[in-house]
Chains A and B, each alone.
Chain A
Amino acid sequence: MMNNSYGVTKEKELIEASLNGDKNAFGEIVTRYQKMVARTVKGMLGDSVFAEDIGQEVFIKLYYSLSEFRGEAKLSTYIQKIAVNLTLNEIKRRKRFFTLFSQKANDEMYAFEIADQDTEERREASEIVNKALMAMDPKFRIIVTMRMLQGYSTKETAEILNLPIGTVLSRLSRAQEQLRNILLNL
Chain B
Amino acid sequence: MNTSEIKKLIISSLDASADTIEVARKLEEEGVSFNFSQNFGDRVLTKLFSAGLSVSREVEFIKYMNFAFYRIALTGVAAIVILIISIFLMEGSLSINSFLGLSDNYDESIVCLLTGN
Chain A interfacial positions (CB closer than 8 Å to B): 1-2, 23, 26-27, 30-31, 34-35, 37-39, 41-43, 47, 52, 55-56, 59-60, 63-64, 118-119, 121-126, 128-129, 132, 143-144, 147-154, 169, 172-173, 175-176, 179-180, 183, 186
Contacts and interface: CB of A to CB of B under 8 A. Distances in A.
B48 A63 contact: yes
B32 A56 contact: no
A186 B15 CA distance: 21
Interface string B42-55: 11110111000001
B98 interface: no
A129 B27 contact: yes
Interface stretch (B18-26, B73-81, B84-92, B102-110): B18-26
Chain A binding surface, main DSSP class: helix
B20 A152 contact: yes
Interface residues of B, number: 37
B59 A151 contact: no
B11 A180 contact: yes
Given A39-B34, A148-B27, A149-B27, A59 B44 contact: yes
B32 A129 contact: yes
Contact of A147 (B1, B3, B20, B43): B20
16 contacts: A2-B45, A27-B41, A27-B42, A35-B34, A38-B34, A42-B34, A52-B36, A55-B40, A63-B48, A121-B31, A129-B32, A147-B23, A150-B24, A172-B14, A173-B14, A179-B14
